[in-house]
């Protein structure tokens, strides 16, 4: 499963606002430069984030975007879903009684991939923009698993 640029860039931009706002609106052009994201692409994403009630826009000189709620109240899953990024690992649409195979059956691994999608959603729902800003999501990402099954520190 791969998260598209829509979801990743929207999260990067929301974290940027949380880090750089200081209570003042953040211009998209500033986010574009800091995050190395196309301004026109950010404009498309922020239209969706605004419709999803995740950001507020301020017009005029000194305008830009502010988080609509406290950074600790905005979960990463909400951002990803607001920009129309489905959180799933199957080819099938969630909740459908049939599968994506030609005969409408589910493949033998369907439940495996569906549960992976559920776990990803649960994880992204448990992490807020505030957690990312405060670097509270470090966990075990620096570890890899050895052949014996135990964690080993990754080479840096």
Q: What is the pLDDT of residues 3-51, one digit of tens each?
A: 788 999 999 999 999 999 999 999 999 999 999 999 999 999 999 999 9
Domain assignment of residue 32, yes or no: yes
Determine, yes or no, domain membership for 92: no
Residues 6+ apart with CB under 8 A from 20: 26, 30, 31, 34
Domain extent at residue 72? 5-86+127-145
Which residue, 114, 57, 48, is CA-closest to 79?
A: 48
What would the pLDDT profile of 108-153 be if each residue is shown by its tens digit? Answer: 877 888 888 888 889 999 999 999 999 988 665 555 555 555 555 5
**What φ, ψ does residue 35 adopt, rounded to 5°?**
-95, -5
Determine, yes or no, domain membership for 27. yes
Distance separating the N- and C-terminal Cα atoms of the chain: 25
Task: Please indicate, yes or no, if residue 41 is contained in any of the structural domains.
Answer: yes
Mean pLDDT of 46-58: 97
- Is position 93 within any domain? no
Instruction: Supply φ then ψ for residue 129, to 5 degrees.
Output: -60, -40
CATH number reported for the structural domain that contains residue 65 in this entry: 1.10.10.10
- Residue indicated by tokens 């929207």: 10
The verdict on pTM exceeding 0.85 is no
Q: How many CA atoms lie within 13 A of 71 on its CB side?
A: 21
How many structural domains is the chain composed of? 1
Domain contains 20: yes
Asked, for residue 53, whether it belongs to a domain, the answer is yes
- What six digits make up the tokens of 118? 């559920």
Per-residue model confidence (pLDDT) at position 112: 84
Nearest partner of 7 among 99, 72, 105, 84, judged by Cα? 84
Q: Does residue 97 form part of some domain?
A: no
């Amino acid at each position: 499963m791969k998260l598209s640029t829509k979801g990743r860039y929207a999260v990067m931009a929301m974290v940027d606002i949380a880090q750089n706002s200081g209570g003042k609106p953040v211009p998209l052009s500033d986010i574009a430069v800091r995050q190395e994201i196309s301004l026109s692409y950010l404009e498309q994403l922020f239209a969706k984030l605004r419709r999803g009630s995740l950001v507020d826009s301020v017009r005029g000189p000194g305008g830009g975007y502010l988080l609509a709620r406290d950074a600790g109240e905005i979960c990463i899953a909400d951002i990803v879903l607001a920009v129309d990024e489905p959180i799933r690992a199957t080819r099938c649409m969630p909740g459908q009684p049939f599968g994506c195979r030609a005969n409408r059956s589910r493949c033998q691994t369907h439940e495996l991939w569906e549960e992976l999608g559920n776990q990803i959603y649960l994880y992204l729902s448990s992490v807020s923009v505030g957690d990312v800003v405060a670097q509270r999501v470090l966990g075990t990402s620096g570890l890899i698993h050895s052949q014996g099954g135990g964690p080993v520190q990754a080479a840096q």
